Amino acid sequence: MSSPEVATATAEAAVLPTTPAAAEPPRKDKPRSLWTDAWYELRRKPLFVISAIMITIFVLMAAFPSLFSSVSPNAADLNKSLTPPDFGAWFQFGKGGQFGYDLQGADIYSRTIYGARASIVVGLSAVLGNMLLGGFFGILSGYLGGWTDSLLARFGDIFLGLPFVLGALVILSTFAPVQSSPSAVRITTLVIVTFIMLGWPSFARIMRAAVLSTKQLDFVHAAQALGARPGRIIFRHVLPNAVAPMVVVGTITLGAYIGAEATLSFLGVGLRQPVVSWGIMIGDSRQYMEAAPYMMAFPAAFLAIAVLSFVMLGDAVRDALDPKLR
C-alpha cells in the first residue's frame, strides 16, 4: 500500500466513532424519594446535627439514667440540706453533689437526670397520640368531604375554642385535685390524655389540608379510575404523601409539650410526687431563690435546652421536607 493510501486509512480510522461494545453503558441513577432527599439535606445542616446530638443525650438520660448517675433521686440526707454545688465532684462520677443538694438533702444532679424521663415520656406519648387521633380524623375529613368534613370540623372547633393551658388546668384540677395524691402512673396518664384531648384538632386540620392537596394529584385520580378501594388509595397513595407536615409539626410540638408539662407541674396541677420532673423541681425551689438559686438553675437549664433542641430539630426537618425552602 502506497503512503497516500496509508495516510488516508489512518485518518479514517481516527474519525471513526467508537463501537457500542467499547463504550461504557449509561448509568441509571435510582430516583430518590422525598424522604431520601430530606435525609440528604439534613445531614448537611449543622442545626440538625447539633439538635440530634442533644436529643440523643436526653433520650439516653430518660431511658438509661443509671448511665449518668448512680445516686437514687429519692435518696435524702438532711445533713446535706442546701449544700451548694461541689465542682470537684465532677471528677468523682457517681458520688453526687455536682449540682448541690435541695432542702431535703436529695442530690439535684441525680434528680435532674431522672427528671428527663417524665418529660420525654409525656411529650413523646402526647405527640404520638395526637398524630394517630388527629391524623385519623384529618384523613376522614379531607378524603370523604361533605357532611363528614363539616361534622368533624365543628367537633374539633369545640376543643380549639378552649385555651390549651386553661383547658389543662380545668381537666387536671377536676380529675386530680391539688389536695389529692394520685399515683405516678395515674397522674402521668392523666396529663398525657389531657394533652391529646386538647391537641388533636390542630393535627387533624394539618392532615386534612395535606389530604385535600394530595387527593387532587394525577396518580390518585388514576388509582380511582382503575377501581382501587378507598382504603388502598389512602394507605398506598395519600398517606405517604401527606404525612410530612405532621412529622414537622409533631417534632416542634414535642418541645412545646415538654414545656407545658413543666408549667403545669410548676403550678401544682401537673405531675406530682413521687414523680421526678423538671417542673416539680423548679416549683419546689421557688421559695429558695435567694438562699439556693442553683436548685432552680440546673433543672431550668436542662428544660430550656431540651425544648430548644426539639424546636431546632423541627425547623431543620421542615426546611428539608419542603422543596420550596431549599
Calpha distance 26→35 (Å, rounded): 26
pTM metric for this prediction:
0.83
Rounded Cα gap, residues 79 and 75, in angstroms: 12
Cα 182 from chain centroid?
Answer: 28
Kindly report the number of other CB atoms within 10 A of residue 167's CB atom. Answer: 17
Q: In the CATH scheme, what is the code of domain 34-325? A: 1.10.3720.10
Q: How confident is the model at residue 260 (pLDDT cuts 50, 70, 90)?
A: very high
Determine the pLDDT at residue 34.
Answer: 63
| Exposure of 153 in the CB half-sphere (CA atoms within 13 A) | 13
- Tell me what percent of the residues of the chain surpass a pLDDT of 90: 34
What does the pLDDT average to over 36-49?
A: 81
pLDDT for 105 beyond 60: yes
Phi, psi values for residue 227, rounded to 5°: 90, 20
Model pLDDT for residues 211-255, shown as the tens digit of each residue: 988 888 888 888 888 888 888 888 888 888 888 888 889 998 999
Q: What is the pLDDT of residue 35?
A: 66
Dihedral, 255, 259, 261, 266 alpha carbons, nearest 10: 170
Region at 145 (left for phi over 0; alpha for psi -120 to 50; beta for the rest): left
- Return the amino acid letter for 35: W
Name residue 185's amino acid: V
Per residue in 3-33, pLDDT tens? 444 444 444 444 444 444 444 555 555 556 6
Sketch the domain layout of the chain as residue ranges.
34-325
